Amino acid sequence: MPATLTSVDAEGFGRELDRIRDEVIESLGERDARYIRGLIAIQRKLELGGRALLIASWFPPAWITGTAALATAKILENMEIGHNVLHGQWDWMRDPKIHSTTWEWDTASPADQWKHSHNFVHHTWTNVLGKDRDVGYSVLRISPEQRWHPIYLAQPFYNALLALFFEYGIAIYDLELERIPSGRKDPKEALAQLRAVATKIRRQVVKDYVAFPLLAGPAFLPVLLGNLTANLARNVWAHTIIFCGHLPEGAEVFTEDRLEGETRGEWYVRQLLGSCNIDGGGLFHIMSGNLSHQIEHHLFPDLPSNRYAEIAPRIRALCERFGLPYTSGSLARQAASVWKRVLRMALPGPRQRPPATAPPVKTLGAVA
Amino acid sequence: MIPKRATPSAARPGPAILRRLAAAARWLASPLLPEDYLGLINPLWTAGDLCGRVEEVIPETADAATLVIRPGRGWVVHRPGQWVPIGVDIRGRRHWRTFSLSSAPGRPDGRVTITVKAMREGLVSNHLVRRTEPGTVIRLGRPEGAFVLPESPPPRLLFVTAGSGVTPVMAMLDGMLGGAPAVEGPDVVLVHSAPTPDEVIFGRRLRSLAARCPRLRLYERHTRAEGRLRPADLARLCPDWTARAVWACGPPAMLDEIAAHWTGPTDRLRVERFRLVPTVVGSGGRVCFTRSGREADADGGTSLLAVGEGAGVLMPSGCRMGICYSCVARLRSGRVRDMRTGQVHGEAGDMIQTCVSAAAGPIEIEL
Ligand SMILES: Cc1cc2nc3c(=O)[nH]c(=O)nc-3n(C[C@H](O)[C@H](O)[C@H](O)COP(=O)(O)OP(=O)(O)OC[C@H]3O[C@@H](n4cnc5c(N)ncnc54)[C@H](O)[C@@H]3O)c2cc1C
Ligand code: FES
C-alpha cells in the first residue's frame, strides 16, 4: 500500500520506469514507422470514402455509412494521430510530414496553442489543484477542495454541453482567459490567439458546412447534417475518453505543496496516481488514441502510442511490486464514475471525500 | 545550354480557372494539403515533400551501384556535376546524405541516376547499395553545387578523379560526349584512380566511350599495383595540365596535393569534396533547440546538425559540409566552433551553418 512508500521507493520505481523507457526508445524502428504511416493512410482513405458516400446521401444507407466513416476518420485524426503526433511521439522518425512542429489538425485549437496548454501545463502539473488547468477545465468543480459556488449547480448541464462542443471548449480554454484579470496573461496575446482560433474555425466551418455540402448539390442538407453528426460524435467521444483519464474514482488530486522538491521518481508516482486506464480491445485502444492507456501515456508522454499496450502489463506488475495502485476499469464504469463525480460536486461539500480505496498518503501530499 | 524541364507545377502560372480550382482544393483539404491526399495514390505527386522512386539498382562494382530514380513532381532539372540531397528511411529514421547526379540532365525517360559506393561501416551508402529494392521511395532535395561545366565548355579540359569521385564527371562526360561522337568539340582528358581495374566505377562505359570518341583520352591508374597518383604523374600523363580547365574530385589528400601544385589561374581549378574532415575538436556543451523545445549534450567533435538530428529536431540540411548554406539557423545564445578552422565565433542573432559548427559551451539555437 502506498502508505509505506518512502521517497527511496519512489526513486526505485522511477529507475525501473526509466529502464522501460530506454528499452522502448532503443527498439523503435521500421515496425513503428509502418504503424503510424499505415494508420494515417487508413484515416485519410476513410475520410475520403466517407465524404464520397455522403455525396450519395439521398440514399439512407449511404448517409449512415458515410457519416460513420467520417466520424471514425475524425476520431482517429484527433486522437490516435493528432494528439500523439503533437506530443512529439513520432519526432524520432525525422519526417517533416509527421512531426510535432509541423502538424496541424482538424480541431478548433491551433496546434501550437494546444501544445502549450496540454503538453506543458497539463502534463507537467498533472492533477495539481491551482496548477493543472485541466482539473475541471476551469469551469467544473471536481474536487471538494474547490470552493463551492451556486453556479456549479448547473455543471451537469454545461458538462453535457461541453461534450457536444468539446473542440470549441478546448480552444477557448487554451486562451487562458481567466488569467487576464490578474495580469498573468497579456490580453494582446489572448487576442492574437483568438484570431488564430477564429481563422481555424472559419476554415473548418467552410469545409464541413459549406464547401462539401455545396459539392453534393441536391444532397446539400444531408451532407451538412452528416458532417455535423460526425463532428458532434467526435466531440462527445473525445470528451468521454479524456474525462475518463483523470476523473474517475481512484484518480487523485494533489495540492501545490506536493510539488515542492519533487524528484523524478515522485513525479512518476504523481502521474500514476492521477491517471486511470480504460479496459478494452485493440480497436478500442486505437479509437481512444491509446488514452485508454492514460497511465502509460502520462508516465511516458512522448513514447509512440502503439507501444503503450505492450508495456502496460510491465507497468502494472511494477506497481504491484511497489505497492502502488493501478486504476483501470471498463469504459461504462469509468464514464459512470466521472458523471457521478460531476453530479456530486455540483452540490456543496463534502467536507471529506468518502474514504478512497487507498488510504491517504501524507508523504505524497495526496489529498485523498 | 542547360536543358530545362518542367518547373514545379505549383509555381507554374496556369490559367486562372486552374488556380481557382487549386485554391478551392486547399479549402477542401484543410488543415492538410491536397497533395497529402494525392500522395495516397502516388507519393511522387507531393511536391512539398519531393520524392523519387528507385526504379532500378544496377551494380557497378563489388561495392558500388547506380540507382535509377524517377523524380516526383517539383523536381528541378540539374546541371551536370551537381549533387542532390537524398533522404532515406533506415530503421524508421530519416537520414540525409548528398550524392552527385551521375546522369546527364534531360534524359528522354525523365529519370536521373546517382552512383553510390558503399563505405566501410557507412550507414546510408550500404543501405543504398545493398538493401534498396526497386520501388523504394526516397526523398530528394534540390540539385545544387558549383562543380559544373560552364554553358559552353572550354576547348581543353582535364578531369582528375578517384573512387566514387568519378560520379559527377560521368554526368558531365555524358552531357558533352554522350551523343554521336562529333569530331569537333573540346579536348578531354580523364585521369581516374581506383585500386584495381575491376573496381573502376563506370569502367566499361568509360573505356567504350574513350574507344568511340577520339576527343576523350582516358588514363586509368590502378593504385594497388601502381601506387597513388601524384601531381608529378599528372604532369607526365598530361603535360599541359595546368593550362587546362580542371575538375578534380576524390579523397582529400589527392585534392590538397593538386591544389598545392596548381600554377594556373585559380578559377580554372575546381574541386569537389565528398567529405568534411574536421580539423579541430574542442569541448562541447549543452545544446537547446528553442523552437522544438529539445535539448541534447553535444561533444566538440559532432556538428550541431548531427546533434539535432539525433534529438529528433527537424534540421534543414543540404551538402552537410559547409558549402550550400541550406542548414543555417539563428543562434540565440552561446558560441560555436567552426569545425574546419577551429575558430570560435557567434553572437546572439548570428546565422550559423549547423553542419560545420560544433557547440563551444552551452548554446541555444532557434530550431
Ligand atoms: C557534394 C558531395 C557529393 C557526394 N557524392 C557522392 C557520390 O556521388 N557517391 C558516393 O558514393 N558518395 C558521395 N558523397 C558521399 C556521401 O554523401 C556520404 O558521405 C557517403 O556515402 C558516406 O555515408 P554513410 O552514411 O554511408 O557513412 P556514415 O555512416 O556517415 O559514415 C561511416 C564512416 O565513413 C566515414 N565517411 C563518411 N563520409 C565519407 C566519405 N565521403 N569518404 C570517406 N569516408 C567517409 C565516416 O567518417 C565514418 O567513419 C558525396 C558527398 C558530398 C559532400
Ligand atoms: S548543409 Fe550545406 S552548408 Fe550546411
Boundary residue ending a domain (B140, B164, B198): B140
The CATH number given to whatever domain includes residue B326 is 3.10.20.30
**CATH classification of the domain holding B26:** 2.40.30.10
Cis previous bond, A350, omega within 30? yes
B267 and B292 in a common domain: no
Verify whether ligand 1 is closer than 6 Å to residue B75 (CB atom): no
Residue B220 shares a structural domain with residue B161: yes
Q: State the smallest CA–CA distance between residue B313 and chain A in angstroms.
A: 7
Residue B224 forms contact with A (CB below 8 Å): no
Q: Do B209 and B314 fall into the same domain?
A: no
Q: Identify whether residues B128 and B200 lie together within a single domain.
A: no
Please indicate, yes or no, whether residues B230 and B203 belong to a single structural domain of this protein.
Answer: yes
Residues B108 and B201 in one domain: no
For B329, phi then psi, to 5°, come to -145, 160
Judge whether B146 lies within some domain.
Answer: no
Query: Both B213 and B116 in a single domain?
Result: no
Does A29 contact B at CB distance below 8 Å? yes
C-alpha cell at A148: 463551492
B136 inside domain = yes
pLDDT of residue B114: 98
A160 touches chain B (CB under 8 A): no
Compute how many other C-beta atoms are within 10 angstroms of the C-beta atom of residue A157: 10
Asked if A45 reaches chain B (Cβ–Cβ under 8 Å), the answer is: yes
Residue nearest to atom 45 of ligand 1 (CA): B275
Of the candidates A92, A104, A215, the beta carbon closest to that of B93 is on A92
Burial environment of residue B122 by CB neighbours within 10 A (0 to 12, 13 to 18, 19 or more) = middle
**Chosen domain end from B272, B291, B322:** B272
Q: Quick one: which atom of ligand 1 is closest to the CA of B114?
A: 8
Q: Are residues B121 and B53 in the same domain?
A: yes
Side-chain half-sphere CA neighbours of B114 within 13 A: 26
pTM, 2 dp: 0.89
pLDDT at res. A9: 87
Rounded CA separation A13/B89 (Å): 35
Identify the residue among B21, B26, B27, B38 best suited for mutation to test binding to A, counting A beta carbons within 10 A and taking the highest: B27
Looking at per-residue confidence, does B5 or A45 come out higher? A45
Tell me the CATH number at B202: 3.40.50.80
The answer to whether position B235 is within a domain reads yes
Look up residue A38 and give its three cell numbers.
Answer: 499505415
pLDDT tens per residue, chain B (367 residues)?
A: 333 333 444 445 568 888 899 889 999 999 999 999 999 999 999 888 899 999 999 999 999 999 999 999 999 999 999 999 999 999 999 999 999 999 999 999 999 999 999 999 999 999 999 999 999 999 999 999 999 998 888 999 999 999 999 999 999 998 888 765 566 788 999 999 999 999 999 999 999 999 988 899 999 999 999 999 999 999 999 999 999 999 999 999 999 999 999 999 999 999 999 987 777 677 889 999 998 889 999 998 899 999 999 998 999 998 888 888 889 999 999 999 999 888 899 888 889 999 999 999 999 999 9
Among A30, A37, A76, A101, pick the best mutation site for testing chain B contact (most B Cβ within 10 A). A101
Residue B151 included in any domain = no
Which range (A61-75, A349-363, B94-108, B310-324) has the least confidence? A349-363
- Name the residue with the closest Cα to ligand 1, atom 7: B99
Contact yes or no for B28 and A104 at CB 8 A: no
Give the pLDDT of residue B14.
65
B78 CB-near residues (< 8 Å, 6+ apart): B84, B101, B105, B112, B143, B171
Q: Is B66 in the pocket of ligand 1 (CB under 6 A)?
A: no
B180 and B225 part of one domain: yes
What does the DSSP 8-state code read for residue A116?
I
Residue B257: left if φ>0, alpha if ψ -120 to 50, beta else—which one? Answer: alpha
Considering CB atoms only, which of A92, A102, A203 is closest to B27? A203
Cβ–Cβ under 8 Å, residues A271 and A299: yes
Cis check: omega of the bond before B150, within 30 degrees of 0: no
Last residue of a domain, one of B216, B237, B272: B272
Parent domain of B116: 16-140
Q: Which of B93, B95, B97, B326 has most ligand 1 atoms within 8 Å of CB, for mutation?
A: B97
> pLDDT-derived band of residue A138, with 50, 70 and 90 as boundaries?
low
Identify whether B200 is part of a domain: yes
Q: Tell me, yes or no, whether B1 lies in a domain.
A: no
Residue B63, in any domain of the structure: yes
Q: What is the mean pLDDT of residues A55-72?
A: 95
Portion of chain A with pLDDT greater than 90, in percent: 69
Chain B: give the shortest CA distance to residue A294, in Å: 23
Does B26 reach chain A within 8 Å, measured CB to CB?
no
Per-residue pLDDT band for A142 (boundaries 50, 70, 90) equals: confident
pLDDT of residue B183: 67
CB contact under 8 A, A92 and B312: yes
ipTM: 0.87
Distance CA B134, CA A28 (A): 25
**Confidence at residue B12, expressed as pLDDT on a 0 to 100 scale:** 53
Q: Which ligand is nearest to the CA of B351?
A: 2
In the block, which residue shows the cell 494546444?
Answer: A114
* A347/A358 Cα distance (integer angstroms): 24
**Least confident segment among A126-140, A245-259, A286-300, B211-225:** A126-140
pLDDT at B2: 35
Same domain, B136 and B101: yes
User: What pLDDT score does B292 carry?
Assistant: 87
CB of B159 shorter than 6 A to ligand 1: no
Residue A207 and residue B28: Cβ atoms within 8 Å? yes
Interface of B with A in 48-107 (CB under 8 A): 49, 89, 91-94
Q: What's the rounded Cα separation, in Å, for the pair B198 and B34?
A: 49
Half-sphere exposure at residue A273, Cβ-oriented, CA atoms within 13 angstroms: 32
Percent of chain A with pLDDT over 70: 92
Shared domain for B242 and B330, answered yes or no, is no
- Same domain, yes or no: B299 and B262: no
- Site to probe by mutation for ligand 2, drawn from B86, B273, B319, B336 as the one with most ligand atoms within 8 Å of Cβ, is B319
Amino acid at A68: A
Residue B294: closest C-alpha in chain A: A88
b/e code A252-290 from CB counts within 10 Å (16+ = b): bbbeeebbeebeebbbbbbbbbbbbbbeeeeeebbbbbb
pLDDT at A357: 44
Does ligand 2 have an atom closer than 6 angstroms to the CB of B359? no
Q: Above 60 in pLDDT, residue A2?
A: no
Ligand with the closest atom to the CA of B338: 2
Q: Count of residues for chain B?
A: 367
Would you call A91 and B292 a contact, using CB atoms and an 8 Å cutoff?
Answer: yes
Of A101, A106, A212, the CB nearest to B291: A101
- H-type alpha helices, chain A: 7-27, 30-55, 60-76, 84-86, 111-114, 123-124, 155-164, 166-174, 187-205, 212-215, 220-246, 264-273, 282-287, 294-299, 308-322, 331-346
**Distance, CA of A324 to CA of A8 (rounded, Å):** 14
Q: Is B274 in the pocket of ligand 1 (CB under 6 A)?
A: yes
Tell me whether B23 touches chain A (CB under 8 Å): no
* Overall domain count for chain B: 3
| Residue B325 alpha carbon, nearest atom of ligand 2 | 3
Minimal-distance CA residue of chain A relative to B309:
A94
8 Å CB contact between B116 and B183: no
Cα-only R_g, chain B:
22
Chain B residue at shortest CA distance from A97? B49
In a domain, B10, yes or no: no
Nearest CA to ligand 1 atom 1: B274
